[in-house]
C-alpha cells in the first residue's frame, strides 16, 4: 500500500462536540489571546475555552430567538474575532449553516453573495461592512433576514421593520442580561449535531468567474484536523499565531485544530499587527507562502546592504547550511558555515519570529523552492500542506517530524480514496470531501458518476508515495510547436527572484513562451534612470531564475508591469490569487506586440 499520513482520531466527531470536550477538560485555559487593533498599547484580550463555549451558547440562543433553525443560513461578513466563531458555532449548534464572506469584498460582490446566501441572520464587522449590504437590505428582509449582529451601532432606521439589531460584542461579554444556553443544554445540542450537518459554507476565490459556494459538513473539518495533527505535530503546549481570514478554509483548519487539541491561538485581524503578535512568543506560524516570502526578501535586502566581504561570507554560509541541512550532501567546512549562518542570520530571524518558533507551516499556494531552502538552511522546519476548499483544506502534507522536500506536496491523508487520471488530474473520494456546492450545477460539473471529485490539479505520485503538484489542468499551456508545460512552477520560481513580485506565463498557441512580470516600482525607476528598457534588462534575470527548467519553458520576451498585483484593481482575489483572465484582457495589446 502507498504511504499515507498516520492518523489518530479525536473522540468528538463534530466541531461542537470537540468544543464541549476541550471546554470540559481545560475550562480556564486561554484559548484565544486577541490583539486589539484599536488599542496598540493594551495587553491582548483573553478568551478561555469556557468563555468561548459560553459565547457559542449565547449566539445559539440569540439565533434561535430570531427563528434560525436547521436549513437556515447565517452570513458572516466581518474581520476575524472571537465573536465571528461564536456566531458560527451558535449556528452549528442549531444545525444551521454559517456562511463565510471575505471582509475585504467590495460592495457589489458582497451584495451578490448575500443575495445568493439568503441569510436568516447576519454578522457584520461594523458600518463599513453594513454599507456594502445596505442597498440590498429590503431584498434580504423579504428573503427572511431577521437578525443583524453588528460590531458597531448601525445608522438609525437602517433596518426594515421586523429585523432586530444586537451588538456582536454581547456574545463575548462575561455577563449578559438576555438569552443564554445553560451548559447542560449546550451539551445536549452539541450531541444532537451529526457528521453530515453543516460546518461551513465558504466561497472559492473566483479566479475564473463566479465564486462557487463550497458546503463543508462537520465530518470534513474533523477529518481535516486529524490529518493536520499528524503532519504538523502540534500539542496542547503550543501557541499558534492566527491571522488567516475565516473566509479562507486554512483559517478554520488552524482554529479547529487548536480547539480540539486545547492549545492557544494568538489572534490578529490585520497583518499590520503581526509584529505585536510575534512579541507574544508563538511556537508556530501558519500562513500563506507570501508572508514568509516577504520575510525572506527583507533578510536578503539586509544582506545586499552589507560590505562586500561580509556579504560574501554570509552568502557562502547560507549556501553551506543549505547543502548540509537540505541536500544532505555537505562539503568539507559546511558544518562551520552552518554555524556562521545560524549566528549571523538564523539568530536574527528567530528573534524576529518571537524567539520561540519551532516550525513554520504553509498552505493556500505553492511555496518556491528558494523559500523552503532558506528557512530549512537556518534549521527552522518549513512544512507545506496541500489542499483546497472542497477538501476542507487537506489533501496531503509534508511532516514536521519526518522528511520534507522542496516542491513536494507530501503524503496524502488516508481519508481520501485517490486516483490519478490518464491526463494527470487528481481525483478524490472520501469523508474529507465537501457535500457539494451551493448551486447544484456546480456539483454536477465537479463530481463524476463514481463520486470522485475532479480537483483540476495535475499531479505526479513520487517513488516515496508523496504527491507533487505540477499545476492546474486548465492553465496548461500548449505551444504551437506541440510542447506542453505547466506554468505554476515556472511562475513561482520567477516570483521568488528579485526584483519580481509575481509572474504569469504566456504562450498558448504561440511558438515560444513569454511572461508578464510585476516588478517593484523602485527597480523600474532605477532602470529608467539608466536609460534601459526594463523588458530587455530584466529578461536575463528571469532566465537565470529558471536554470532548473528546460529551454522551451524559459520566456524569450517580457511584458513588464509596475508594482505588485495588488496595485492593479480587479487583478487579485481576496485570497491574494491572481485573476489570470482579467490580467490577460488588460495586457492584450502588449501581448500582441510581444508576438508580432
Work out the number of other CB atoms within 10 angstroms of the CB of residue 106: 12
177: confidence class by pLDDT, cuts 50, 70, 90? low
Does position 575 have pLDDT exceeding 80, yes or no? Answer: no
Top CATH class of 15-283 equals alpha beta
In 3D space, the residue among 514, 416, 516 whose CA is nearest the CA of residue 461 turns out to be 416
Question: pLDDT value at position 174?
Answer: 56
What residue segments make up the domains of the chain, in order of their start? 15-283, 289-355+357-473, 476-594
Peptide bond into 499 cis (omega under 30): yes
| Contact between 273 and 35 (Cβ < 8 Å) | yes
Helices 15-25 and 49-65, axial angle in degrees (round to 10) = 140
Which of 193-197, 222-226, 577-581 is the least confident region?
Answer: 577-581
What is the average per-residue pLDDT within 295-317? 94
Sequence-distant (≥ 6) Cβ neighbours of residue 308 within 8 angstroms: none
pLDDT per position as a tens digit, 61-120? 999 999 999 999 999 999 999 999 999 999 999 999 999 999 989 899 999 999 999 999
Q: How far is CA 257 from CA 118, 134, 247, 359, in A?
A: 30, 35, 17, 16
Question: pLDDT value at position 178?
Answer: 67
Question: pLDDT value at position 581?
Answer: 84
| Contact between 408 and 383 (Cβ < 8 Å) | no
Question: Computed from CA positions of residues 292, 295, 301, 303, in that sequence, does the dihedral angle turn out positive or negative?
Answer: negative
The percent of residues in the chain predicted with pLDDT above 90, rounded, is 78
Length of the chain: 596
In 3D space, the residue among 13, 1, 128, 145 whose CA is nearest the CA of residue 73 turns out to be 145
What's the rounded Cα separation, in Å, for the pair 571 and 518?
12
Rounded to two decimals, the pTM is 0.91
Question: pLDDT value at position 34?
Answer: 97
Q: How far is CA 71 from CA 39, 193, 310, in A?
A: 39, 13, 64
Cell, residue 465: 508515495
Question: pLDDT value at position 570?
Answer: 82
Which segment, 139-148, 541-550, 566-575, is predicted with the most confidence on average? 139-148
In 3D space, the residue among 417, 305, 342, 310 whose CA is nearest the CA of residue 4 turns out to be 417
Question: pLDDT value at position 572?
Answer: 81
Question: pLDDT value at position 407?
Answer: 87
pLDDT per position as a tens digit, 583-595? 888 999 998 998 9
| Contact between 78 and 203 (Cβ < 8 Å) | no
E strands present in 8-146: 30-34, 45-48, 73-77, 97-101, 121-124
Question: pLDDT value at position 516?
Answer: 95
What's the rounded Cα separation, in Å, for the pair 466 and 571?
33
Bridge pairing between strands 359-362 and 147-150: unpaired
Cell, residue 310: 561580509
Dihedral of CA atoms 347, 348, 354, 355 in degrees, nearest 10, equals 10
Does position 176 have pLDDT exceeding 80, yes or no? Answer: no
Question: pLDDT value at position 209?
Answer: 65
Question: pLDDT value at position 439?
Answer: 95
Top CATH class of 476-594 equals alpha beta
The percent of residues in the chain predicted with pLDDT above 70, rounded, is 98
Helices 369-377 and 308-322, axial angle in degrees (round to 10) = 100
Question: pLDDT value at position 334?
Answer: 96
Q: Which CATH number fits domain 289-355+357-473: 3.50.50.60, 2.60.120.330, 3.30.70.890, 3.40.50.12780?
A: 3.40.50.12780
99 three-class SS: strand
| Contact between 383 and 359 (Cβ < 8 Å) | yes
What's the rounded Cα separation, in Å, for the pair 21 and 30?
15
Q: Mean pLDDT, the chain, as a whole number?
A: 93
In 3D space, the residue among 136, 145, 77 whose CA is nearest the CA of residue 111 turns out to be 136
436: confidence class by pLDDT, cuts 50, 70, 90? very high
pLDDT per position as a tens digit, 344-396? 999 999 999 999 999 999 998 888 888 999 999 999 999 999 999 999 999 99
**Which segments of 305-394 does DSSP mark as H helices, in order?**
308-322, 334-341, 347-352, 369-377
What is the average per-residue pLDDT within 51-68? 96
Amino acid at each position: 500500500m502507498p504511504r499515507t499520513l498516520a492518523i489518530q482520531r479525536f473522540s468528538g466527531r463534530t466541531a461542537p462536540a470537540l468544543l464541549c470536550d476541550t471546554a470540559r477538560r481545560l475550562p480556564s485555559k486561554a484559548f484565544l489571546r486577541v490583539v486589539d487593533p484599536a488599542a496598540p498599547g493594551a495587553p491582548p484580550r483573553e478568551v478561555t475555552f469556557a468563555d468561548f463555549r459560553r459565547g457559542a451558547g449565547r449566539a445559539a440562543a440569540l439565533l434561535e430567538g430570531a427563528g434560525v433553525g436547521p436549513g437556515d443560513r447565517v452570513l458572516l461578513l466581518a474581520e476575524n474575532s472571537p465573536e465571528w466563531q461564536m456566531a458560527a458555532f451558535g449556528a452549528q449548534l442549531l444545525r444551521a449553516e454559517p456562511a463565510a464572506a471575505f471582509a475585504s469584498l467590495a460592495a457589489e460582490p458582497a451584495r451578490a453573495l448575500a443575495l445568493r446566501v439568503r441569510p436568516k441572520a447576519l454578522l457584520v464587522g461594523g458600518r463599513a461592512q453594513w454599507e456594502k449590504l445596505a442597498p440590498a437590505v429590503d431584498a434580504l428582509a423579504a428573503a427572511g433576514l431577521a437578525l443583524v449582529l453588528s460590531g458597531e451601532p448601525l445608522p438609525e432606521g437602517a433596518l426594515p421593520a421586523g429585523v432586530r439589531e444586537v451588538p456582536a460584542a454581547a456574545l463575548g461579554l462575561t455577563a449578559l442580561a438576555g438569552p443564554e444556553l445553560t451548559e447542560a443544554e449546550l451539551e445536549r445540542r452539541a450531541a444532537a449535531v451529526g457528521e453530515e450537518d453543516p460546518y461551513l459554507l465558504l466561497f472559492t476565490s473566483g479566479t475564473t468567474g463566479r465564486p462557487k459556494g463550497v458546503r463543508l459538513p462537520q465530518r470534513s473539518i474533523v477529518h481535516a484536523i486529524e490529518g493536520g495533527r499528524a503532519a504538523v505535530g502540534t500539542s496542547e503546549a503550543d501557541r499558534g499565531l492566527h491571522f488567516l481570514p475565516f473566509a479562507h478554509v486554512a483559517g478554520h483548519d488552524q482554529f479547529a485544530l487548536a480547539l480540539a487539541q486545547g492549545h492557544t491561538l494568538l489572534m490578529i485581524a490585520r497583518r499590520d499587527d503581526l509584529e505585536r503578535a510575534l512579541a507574544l512568543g508563538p511556537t508556530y506560524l501558519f500562513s500563506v507562502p507570501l508572508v514568509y516570502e516577504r520575510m525572506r526578501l527583507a533578510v536578503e535586502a539586509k544582506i545586499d546592504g552589507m560590505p562586500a566581504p561580509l556579504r560574501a561570507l554570509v552568502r557562502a554560509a547560507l549556501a553551506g547550511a543549505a547543502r548540509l541541512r537540505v541536500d544532505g550532501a555537505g562539503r568539507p567546512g559546511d558544518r562551520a558555515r552552518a554555524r556562521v549562518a545560524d549566528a549571523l542570520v538564523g539568530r536574527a530571524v528567530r528573534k524576529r519570529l518571537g524567539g520561540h518558533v519551532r516550525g513554520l507551516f504553509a498552505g493556500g499556494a505553492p511555496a518556491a523552492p528558494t523559500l523552503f531552502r532558506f528557512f530549512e538552511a537556518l534549521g527552522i522546519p518549513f512544512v507545506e500542506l496541500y489542499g483546497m476548499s472542497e477538501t476542507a483544506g487537506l489533501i496531503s502534507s509534508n511532516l514536521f517530524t519526518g522528511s520534507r522536500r522542496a516542491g513536494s506536496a507530501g503524503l496524502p491523508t488516508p481519508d481520501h480514496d485517490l486516483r490519478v487520471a490518464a491526463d494527470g488530474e487528481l481525483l478524490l473520494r472520501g469523508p474529507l470531501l465537501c457535500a457539494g456546492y451551493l448551486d447544484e450545477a456546480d456539483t454536477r460539473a465537479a463530481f463524476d458518476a463514481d463520486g470522485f471529485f475532479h480537483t483540476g490539479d495535475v499531479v505526479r505520485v513520487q517513488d516515496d508515495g508523496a504527491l507533487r503538484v505540477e499545476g492546474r489542468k486548465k492553465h496548461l499551456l500548449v505551444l504551437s510547436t506541440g510542447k506542453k508545460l505547466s506554468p505554476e512552477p515556472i511562475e513561482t520560481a520567477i516570483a521568488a527572484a528579485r526584483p519580481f513580485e509575481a509572474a504569469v506565463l504566456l504562450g498558448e498557441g504561440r511558438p515560444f513562451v513569454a511572461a508578464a512580470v510585476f516588478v517593484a516600482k523602485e527597480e523600474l525607476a532605477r532602470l529608467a534612470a539608466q536609460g534601459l528598457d526594463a523588458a530587455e534588462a530584466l529578461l536575463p534575470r528571469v532566465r537565470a531564475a529558471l536554470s532548473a527548467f528546460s529551454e522551451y519553458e524559459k520566456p524569450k520576451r517580457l511584458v513588464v508591469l509596475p508594482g505588485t498585483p495588488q496595485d492593479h484593481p480587479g487583478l487579485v482575489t481576496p485570497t491574494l490569487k491572481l485573476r489570470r483572465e482579467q490580467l490577460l484582457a488588460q495586457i492584450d495589446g502588449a501581448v500582441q506586440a510581444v508576438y508580432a
